[in-house]
Amino acid sequence: MRILMIEDNTSVSEMMGMFFQKEQWEVEYAYDGNEATDKFKADPEGWDMITLDLNLPGKDGMQVAKEIREISKTVPIIMLTARDSESDQVLGLDLGADDYVTKPFSPITLIARIKAIHRRADLSATTDSDAQNRPTIDQGEFDVMTDYFKLSSKTREAFLNGKEIPGLTPKEFDLLKTLAKKPRQVFSREQLLELVWDYEYYGDERTVDAHIKKLRQKIEKVGPQVIQTVWGVGYKFDDSEAGIE
């Protein structure tokens, strides 16, 4: 794996460099926002993963993420930030980040997240390649199908009341699929982190809330809300009233 680590703290970079070396991953560093975008633009197809600090000199991490996403919609981005407000997390996800890690963090945690997102990216690329050869979807190709909702893993598409839910990121699709495959079952945040993020999360469960918020915004563009909050427990999928005007 080839990683671009965008981080102005040399101590953090050197520490993670030792862990990357143990994994036999190649890593290059950028220490400010301008250097980061220059390095990415020089070889946009050459990176398997980007870790991106938000607090950067020259150009902040949000702007860097935006510029990277204008070039590549698929390269995985993990944001590293000392900011822990939900608005920062949602903004980062809205700009195209796949995940975020709040500082201070455990190197083992970051390694686990990188591995999980890389596995998901490989799976998504394979699925997208298969989907290109399937211009239409047969009814039997839907993983979930009710009177109001349909979801296909082969095309990575989801429909509510016959309208496609727009702009689902890989993580949002996986989250929706996990909930929808077991309608009305309540999932805790811990369960969703393990099932959707494919690893045991260390601490910050707010990433689930941030992804749910973005997912709900996209669902509401085409129909009524089908992701319900069960207060004090977690979330569930329920489309039983989706057809009610």
Burial class of residue 38 (count of CB atoms within 10 Å of its CB; 0-12, 13-18, 19+): exposed
Burial class of residue 234 (count of CB atoms within 10 Å of its CB; 0-12, 13-18, 19+): buried
Task: Judge whether residue 124 has pLDDT over 60.
Answer: no
Average pLDDT over residues 166-178: 89
Confidence of residue 170 (pLDDT cuts 50, 70, 90): confident
Instruction: Please give the Cα distance from 215 to 225 (Å, whole number).
Output: 10
Q: Is the dihedral of CA 118, 121, 127, 130 positive or negative?
A: negative
| Planar angle of CA 85, 90, 94, nearest 5 degrees | 150
Taking only Cα atoms into account, the Rg of the chain, rounded to an integer number of angstroms, comes to: 19
In angstroms, the first-to-last Cα distance of the chain is: 49
Per-residue pLDDT of 21-71, as tens digits, reads 999 999 999 999 999 999 999 999 999 999 999 889 989 888 999 999 999
Question: pTM of whole model > 0.85?
Answer: no
User: Which range is least confidently modeled, 90-94, 173-177, 238-242?
Assistant: 90-94
Q: Tell me, what amino acid is at 10?
A: T
Identify any residues that bridge with 235 across adjacent strands, giving them in sequence order: 187, 229
Contacts of residue 88, Cβ cutoff 8 Å, sequence gap at least 6? 54, 81
In whole angstroms, what separates CA 91 from the centre of its chain? 13
Per-residue pLDDT of 59-106, as tens digits, reads 988 899 999 999 998 899 998 877 666 666 666 777 778 888 888 888
Instruction: Please give the Cα distance from 216 to 176 (Å, whole number).
Output: 10
Confidence of residue 134 (pLDDT cuts 50, 70, 90): very low
Sheet containing strand 99-102, strands side by side:
26-30, 2-6, 49-53, 77-81, 99-102
In three-state secondary structure terms, 138 is coil
Residue identified by tokens 């057809």 is 243
In three-state secondary structure terms, 128 is helix
pLDDT of 84: 61
